[in-house]
Chains A and B, each alone.
Chain A
């Protein structure tokens, strides 16, 4: 009963998730199928809510900064970077330039390892486990260097409010440089294996299309948006940290010489080329890193009291490997922030699943779902469960709730 055969049968429903081999994290999909073709797609996130913001609002910023490392299992620095930038704006801290460069170096290493991890997952979703092993094997080089710089593979704990906790000394440069050279040599091989392979090309080209208009209207971010031709990159659009000193531009699929189709193939192209871009950025940063202290205030008790005195609100942003990550923090003179809100990059990208999935084959669902690099544990923020009943909240309900909450915070 392959496609093209008109079937009299009513569309049947194929559920995927919350637990399914195609999904690395829990989310539920419901597909109305007609033969092998997805007629209608729907998804329900909110299966991995952990209440991390609630925990954060009972801790001081110096404690939160290490909790933010654990929001995501892959982005060990993204969330702490964005959170630290929010606190630094509230407390009015000027981060030393030396520290800014180290932050950028580690953020770019994170992009390398995250994109390679994604490449491996994508290969696995295509049933190409050999490429998955290869991608994850070369990813280890970046992980080792991250461990060498920060002291841990996954939860780096490098960022502190007002700087970084560990310096990159000149003795460490050769090891880092060796890793970067390795990636530069490897890039040609990876491009060859991923983009020249016929079996990957026939599965990924013209699959999971997201047009420029859809990408823009749905406010997608990061490589998902860039693969559809939207030149959107927080590092370029709103330069922060050391990114302002660097000459970078958003990577679009045209950089590989093709047209912009907004398909899965383009998303592979964008991510692989961003690995090359990150290698360049790290090299430049290593060369041009100014001397200076690494922390605004090395004495933590002093930093704590400065944070405690501060009042105000701010938004910290960072271009995570998956796109813009945003932290909103409000401080009101207490130890703990009055409000902390995390918007992970995948939150903006999830809705692009619907236009991508409808009309595609069931066989392509895993790779399309994976193509936006969803990170659901970071994204899930609300799960309303009262007793045994799960409520669905409409837009009006949420609006009403937020109005109430704003009044409560304002005290009127």
Chain B
């Protein structure tokens, strides 16, 4: 049983990390908008624009449509935000171990990642608008679609750790402690690169960004699942989107790029924590630009049928191919 002190520290740390996570998430959204604007030959909004938007949204009242189911409609944004923050608490940030590290593993994180999308589906169905209903149906379809490639990545990582004799292969702490690239031979590196690219395509889908923003599809569904949301509820969804962006970046860093700066310079204590956290955030920004900003700026929106084909056929095959390369690699190395 936990002692009161540790519980208190955990709660405080969780609150602190949530606030920092929300702020960093919003900054990420700002950076994304800025870079995307520069790619389109625009100046773009200032970096603090998401904060300005959020302030405005939070100062406005919620409008609940007549046909909506108010309880579900209002609960959806809270659930979405809460679940994305909880995922954040499971992520190792730099050299800081996750606050809730002892209470769950990668499988739990995968489930938690699905919760914001589920909340959006529930909120969409609850808002009683035909646009939101179509959007919610599409959100469900695309959720089912991108789970397969994501699952193949998780299995590959766990298999790798398991076959290398690491205890607790699904725990994020052990994934970070054993960078996967060091556990494989040349064949496995190819497999991991394929998996990394697959992950880069899953991230924008998780985040409902173009080309996978069919559930929101501004031009045909006018915002889809979010069409009836306004004011504070929409603000909460915006925050959840920011945190989710941070989480997806953080997950990619934890799985594929877990290295830290502090051992390189022999730093210790709080300095090491700060430097590693900053390095972590820099890696997240870079990954987000490459896998979210570039893709959403350089592609047209897919039809929902294209999304399903892409994830089930092309990326599904790519994920499984990467997984089999990784397994083949470890099997071959077992022989020689």
| Set of chain B residues within 8 Å of A255, measured between Cβ atoms | none
**Contact status A363-B214, CB under 8 Å:** yes
Minimum Cβ distance to chain A for residue B38 (Å): 11
> Which residue on chain A has the smallest CB distance to residue B307?
A2
Q: How far is the CB of A136 from chain B (nearest CB, A)?
A: 10
A366 B219 Cβ-Cβ under 8 A = yes
Asked if B301 and A128 sit within 8 Å, CB to CB, the answer is yes
B41 contacts which of A1, A137, A365 (Cβ < 8 Å)?
A: A137
**Number of chain A interface residues as a range:** 35 or more
Is the pair B40, A130 in contact by a Cβ cutoff of 8 Å?
A: yes
Q: Does A197 contact B (CB under 8 A)?
A: yes
Q: Are A127 and B300 in contact (CB under 8 A)?
A: yes
B25: Cβ under 8 A from any A Cβ: no
Segment touching B, from A9-17, A233-241, A286-294, A335-343: A9-17
A153 at the interface (CB under 8 A from B): no
Question: Does A203 belong to the interface (CB within 8 Å)?
Answer: yes
Does B273 have its Cβ within 8 Å of any Cβ on chain A? no
Using a CB-CB cutoff of 8 Å, which residues 124-141 of chain B contact chain A? 130-131, 133-134, 137, 140-141
Distance, CA A124 to CA B300, complexed state (A): 9
Q: Which one of A1, A133, A203 contacts B300 once the chains associate, using CB atoms below 8 Å? A: A203
**Cross-chain contact of A22 among B39, B40, B219 (Cβ < 8 A):** B219
Chain B nearest Cβ from A366, distance in angstroms: 4
Complex-state Cα separation, A128 to B214, whole angstroms: 13
Q: Are A133 and B211 in contact (CB under 8 A)?
A: no
A207: nearest chain-B partner, CB-CB: B303
B305 within 8 Å of A by Cβ? yes
Given contacts A22-B219, A125-B219, A133-B41, contact A13 B305 (CB under 8 A): no
Task: Please measure, in the bound complex, the distance between the C-alpha atom of A229 and the C-alpha atom of B134, giving whole angstroms.
Answer: 35
Are B300 and A363 closer than 8 Å at their CB atoms? no
Taken residue by residue from 298 to 312, chain B's Cβ proximity to chain A (1 for < 8 Å, 0 otherwise) reads as 111111111010000
B66 at the interface (CB under 8 A from A): no
Q: Say whether A14 contacts B130, CB under 8 Å.
A: yes
CB distance from B59 to the nearest CB of A (A): 25
Asked whether B304 lies within 8 Å of A36 as measured between CB atoms, the reply is: yes
Q: A200 in the interface, Cβ–Cβ < 8 Å?
A: yes
Tell me if B134 and A21 are in contact (CB < 8 A).
no
Residue pair A199, B141 in contact (C-beta under 8 Å): no
For residue A311, give the distance in angstroms from its CB to the closest CB of chain B: 50
- CB contacts (< 8 Å) of B137 on chain A: these are 1
B218 within 8 A of A: yes
Q: Which of A13, A22, A128, A363 contacts B299 (CB 8 A)?
A: A128
Q: In whole Å, how far is B133's beta carbon from the nearest beta carbon of chain A?
A: 8
Question: A36 vs B300: C-alpha distance in the bound complex, in angstroms?
Answer: 19
C-alpha spacing A125/B210, complex, angstroms:
12
Any B CB within 8 A of the CB of A277: no
Residue of A2, A36, A125, A366 with most chain B CB atoms under a 10 A cut-off: A2
Nearest to B299 among chain A residues (CB) is A199
CB of A177 within 8 Å of the partner chain: no
> What sequence of 0s and 1s flags, for each residue 208-229 of chain B, a beta carbon within 8 Å of any chain A beta carbon?
0011011001111110000000
Cβ A199 vs Cβ B211 within 8 A: yes
Determine if A112 is an interface residue (Cβ-Cβ < 8 Å): no
Whether A130 contacts B39 by the Cβ 8 Å rule is yes
What is the predominant secondary structure among interface residues of chain B facing chain A? helix
Interface residues of B in 176-230 (CB under 8 A from A): 210-211, 213-214, 217-222
Shortest C-beta distance, B222 to chain A (Å), equals 5
Q: What are the residues of chain B within 8 A of A33 when measuring CB–CB? A: 134
How far apart sit A218 and B174, CA to CA, in the bound complex (Å)? 68
Interface bits A5-47 vs B (CB < 8 Å: 1, else 0):
0000000111110001110000000000100100000000000
The complex places the Cα of A131 from the Cα of B133 at a distance, in Å, of: 30
Partner of A197, one of B214, B217, B300: B300
What is the number of contacts between chain A and chain B, taking CB atoms within 8 Å?
Answer: 89
B137, B218, B219, B306 pick with most chain A CB within 10 angstroms: B219
Structural contact, B219 and A21, CB atoms closer than 8 A = yes
Total interface residues in chain B, CB < 8 Å = 32
* A363 touching B222, Cβ below 8 Å: no
Q: Please state if A364 and B303 are interface contacts (CB–CB under 8 Å).
A: yes
Q: How far is the CA of A3 from the CA of B214 in the complex (A)?
A: 14
Identify A1's interface contact among B141, B214, B303, CB under 8 A.
Answer: B141
- The A-contacting residues of B in range 262-279, CB under 8 angstroms, are none
Known contacts A21-B222, A133-B40, A362-B220: A2-B308 contact under CB 8 Å: yes
The chain A residue with its CB closest to the CB of B302 is A199
Q: Does A361 contact B (CB under 8 A)?
A: yes
Given A14-B130, A199-B300, is A127 in contact with B213 using a C-beta cutoff of 8 Å? yes
A107 touches B (CB below 8 Å): no
Asked if A388 CB lies within 8 Å of chain B CBs, one says no
Q: Are B220's CB and A365's CB within 8 A?
A: yes
Also in contact, A203 and B299, with CB within 8 A (given A1-B137, A2-B141, A365-B220): no
In the bound complex, do residue B134 and residue A15 qualify as a contact, i.e. CB atoms below 8 Å apart?
Answer: no
B297 at interface, CB cutoff 8 A:
yes
Q: Does B220 contact A130, Cβ atoms closer than 8 Å?
A: no
Task: Identify the interface centre among B39, B41, B134, B141: most chain A CB within 10 Å of its CB.
Answer: B134
Enumerate B299-328 residues with CB–CB distance to A below 8 Å: 299-306, 308
CA distance A14 to B137 in the complex (A): 14
A123 within 8 A of B: yes
What distance in Å separates the Cβ of B127 from its nearest Cβ neighbour in chain A? Answer: 15
Query: Nearest CB to that of B37 among chain A residues?
Result: A133
B42 at the interface (CB under 8 A from A): yes
How distant is B132 from chain A, measured CB to nearest CB, in Å?
Answer: 11
Asked whether any CB of chain B lies closer than 8 Å to the CB of A134, the reply is yes
B108-137 near A? 1/0 per residue, CB < 8 Å: 000000000000000000000011011001
Contact B217 A363 (CB under 8 A): yes
A123 CA to B301 CA, complexed, in Å: 10
Shortest CB-to-CB span from A120 to chain B, Å, is: 12
Within the complex, what minimum Cβ distance (angstroms) separates B36 from chain A?
8
Distance of A20 Cα from B141 Cα, bound (Å): 25
The interface residues of chain B lying within 8 Å CB-to-CB of A15 are 130
| 9 other A-B residue contacts (CB within 8 Å) besides A2-B141, A129-B210, A361-B303 | A2-B304, A126-B301, A127-B213, A130-B40, A130-B297, A130-B298, A134-B41, A202-B306, A363-B303
Identify the 7 closest CB pairs spanning chains A and B, nearest first: A127-B301, A128-B300, A199-B300, A126-B300, A133-B40, A366-B219, A363-B303
Which A residues contact B (CB, under 8 angstroms)? Answer: 1-3, 12-16, 20-22, 33, 36, 123-131, 133-134, 137, 197, 199-200, 202-203, 361-366
Can you offer 8 A-B residue contacts whose CB atoms are under 8 A?
A1-B140, A128-B301, A131-B300, A197-B300, A199-B211, A200-B300, A362-B134, A366-B219
